Chains A and B, each alone.
Chain A
């Protein structure tokens, strides 16, 4: 009897893993293994995918990576991208979210309209943006010409390519930020606002003294998500610049670099080193986000 019970318990123990098996197998094969493998390959000099041979275990790939101007360009592009996209997107979406939240009518309509870019294929709408940016027939240059600004070669000049990418990305990122700000605004207690109304506090003061501090954790979250997403930009580049990384690699990003290194150049070692760098950056950002979220919970 005792023996039967332990067998039954053990069987019950297996049962949980039986239910988990499909997810667990996929996760091990397509997430855990490739993570480890990427680390391993990044330390193998001249790794060959045909027979898995390599010259030696060292930091050669990392040295090559950080000596590669194209990769450094990808990092500096990401930095410029972050400096413009994250603050502008958050400011615009915060203002729009507050206006939507305070509107008496059309709340659902505006929320729906503003969210459309989030569900839309980046590839398709990126191609539309490349048409808007077209230097001869594009809508944007036409608008600028109304103000006497001469045609700008947005997508063909290395000086403007990143600007085009930034404009497109701000347009795209508003949707998610507005949504999370709206859900944050909905959770602010109305009593605070009522107190402000009784004191007839000016709107702008209410915004800076009540709304912004109350939304602080969500703003921090939006900043970190913006940073993380900046390092993952890829489809935007591919669709704006007809499968290239902009003129003279002027709009190259980290993920585009990884793709180009292993898929087009067959340099798996350096591509893996770049992948590991991407992993470390995102891990650090996620840790920061998690620790801030935890601090907030404990406070």
Chain B
């Protein structure tokens, strides 16, 4: 037992050394993005690389912001994210309530149908959905970026599990009091599952904010671009001005990183739920 003491100290040191090494590997692209975004054009191509710029060039952000309509891209991204999230919350609450509380013929069958769609890779649906959007003449509109995404089966599944945990007695008591289903859902189910609903909202905000392929397909004009599609275009336009491209990347990355850091409990629980349900 005595002889194990020094080795366990060494083991602790080794443990933290590996953890820190891994953390550096994980954080490096973020740090490199921030550092590069604050360099002068001369510093950005210097060898050996400049780790911390001599004077932080905050003006790079203003230059990048002016070089492409990032203000417009940001507004578009915010609009699409908010509309999608509000839509997803409404449809998920309604569906989860139906699956967990209401009785109707074919319920199990419909539930199985919903769950079966989880196996379909969304990437294979882009061809026909693009045709549908074209037929609806929705190309270059907000609804093209929002409507296909306002129903999410994973969120419905998650919320149904939470709604099922609310005791039936509450529902029956409300029925006796002649409380309507809609009122019960809004006044009791929603507040009781605030944390699950917040989780869904945050996961969806992250997903919408970062979405790329679909906005790329259904928009043509510069005015309708979102941050991710605008950034890709800017990368080509800016050429070798990497300090500006890095500043623009920061604009896309930072809001979500901040949301995650403040609300990480919800994000981690929500994603782990997906993993653990198997």
Contact = CB atoms under 8 A, between A and B. Distances in A.
Contact of A19 (B95, B130, B271, B275): B95
B268 A115 contact: yes
A221 B278 contact: yes
A242 B86 CA distance: 33
Interface stretch (B67-75, B147-155, B165-173, B193-201): B147-155
A283 B121 CA distance: 9
B32 A238 contact: no
A78 to B, nearest CB: 13
Interface residues of A, number: 100
A242 B151 contact: no
A214 to B, nearest CB: 14
Nearest to B105: A13
B15 interface: yes
B38 interface: no
Interface string B96-130: 01110011110100100010010111011111111
A264 B231 CA distance: 20
Contact of A121 (B129, B213, B256): B256
B11 interface: yes
Interface string A97-120: 001101100100011111111111
Interface string A19-37: 1101110110111111101
Interface residues of B, number: 91
B34 to A, nearest CB: 10
A18 to B, nearest CB: 8
Interface in A120-156: 120-125, 127-129, 131-132, 134, 136-137, 139, 142
Contacts of A278: 121, 123-124
A34 B278 contact: no
Given A23-B95, A179-B271, A258-B123, A116 B260 contact: yes
B18 A262 contact: no
B253 A124 contact: yes
Contacts of B28: 132, 139
Q: Is the interface of B mostly helix, strand, loop or mixed?
A: helix
A15 B102 contact: yes
B83 interface: no
B213 A259 contact: yes
A81 interface: no
Interface in B62-97: 90-92, 94-95, 97
Interface in B257-274: 257, 259-261, 264, 267-268, 271-272
8 contacts: A13-B103, A34-B128, A96-B18, A96-B22, A131-B245, A136-B45, A139-B28, A180-B276
Given A134-B242, A231-B121, 5 more contacts: A19-B102, A117-B26, A119-B256, A179-B268, A232-B121
Interface of A: 12-17, 19-20, 22-24, 26-27, 29-35, 37-38, 41, 49, 92, 95-96, 99-100, 102-103, 106, 110-125, 127-129, 131-132, 134, 136-137, 139, 142, 171, 174-176, 179-180, 183-184, 200, 203, 217-218, 221, 225, 228, 231-232, 234-235, 238-239, 242-243, 255, 258-259, 262-263, 268, 271-272, 275-276, 278-279, 282-283, 286, 289-290, 293, 296
Q: Nearest 3 A-B pairs (CB), nearest first?
A: A16-B104, A34-B128, A180-B275
